[in-house]
Amino acid sequence: MSTTFTIDTATSRATPTPAPMKRLNIPAVRARKGGEPLVMLTAYTVRMAQLLDPHCDLLLVGDSLGQVIYGLPSTVPVSLEMMCAHGAAVVRGSYHAAVVVDMPFGSYEGSKKQAFASAARIMKETGAVAVKLEGGEAMAETIAFLSARGIPVMAHVGLTPQAVNVLGGYGARGRSEAEEKKLIGDARAVAEAGCFAIVVEGVIESIADAITEAVACPTIGIGASARCDGQVLVTEDMLGLFERTPRFVKRYAAMADLVTDAAATYADEVRARRFPTADQTYRRAAAGAAPKTG
């Protein structure tokens, strides 16, 4: 059972109501290897999930919310509580896409037991169908441990933002032969461990192609290659809500300009007392007037 949406006339906002709909499941995602590309975008709120869901195969509740929602300098400070709260919101706001929730830094690296406890909490509290974790060969045993216990795992190799302090920045990976060999080895290791898909971020295009050919599960590119089995972007980047656009992002809208213009118009009307008007205020009915119906 999932959700669709009706309008709550008391609030004029969409509220979910039960409907017999099935989400895209993990076997269906795996089956897309080499087929129609998978579409994934990030979502952190109910309303954004509602808007994106009809167009996406997967919604990623990324730890990028640390920067996008909370204004943090990186993803490192993001907590498990944050991920659970936003993950639950996105599940409530969607009905078709498979929802995947990032495991934040420090919630899984310590041990396989710690990883299971964190992943189980995410699954229970959010209703998501899978978790995502960063790391290659070093995380293979953890991925196998989680997968064997009923927790689907999406892996993440290449540029791994949680490791920014070790990597020394957000530059593309794979510029040397040694790094190329490691990236392909990392992808093979996590695929053999049982992950159902791999995010390949910020790697040289030819390496992304080699990874896609080397593994049996779908690859989802971000700053990688059009020949990956799918693509993901941070939605707010794609919508043009920030001044800076990363090199690998295509802006499909200029939402920051729309918001700025709307806020400026609102401010002008408030200061000039042109808002609110009779259309936006409530008045007593004239004596003897029939009450409105409908």
Which residues carry out catalysis? Answer: 201
Upstream peptide bond of 104 is cis (omega within 30 degrees of 0) = no
In 3D space, the residue among 120, 170, 175 whose CA is nearest the CA of residue 145 turns out to be 120
CA 182 – CA 136 distance, rounded (Å): 9
CB of 102 closer than 8 Å to CB of 135: no
CA 144 – CA 32 distance, rounded (Å): 21
CB of 234 closer than 8 Å to CB of 62: yes
In 3D space, the residue among 13, 28, 62, 16 whose CA is nearest the CA of residue 238 turns out to be 62
Residue 292's contacts (CB-CB under 8 Å, 6 or more residues apart) are 285
Whether the CA torsion 141, 146, 149, 152 is positive or negative: it is: negative
Residue 64's contacts (CB-CB under 8 Å, 6 or more residues apart) are 42, 75, 161, 234
Identity of the amino acid at 47: R
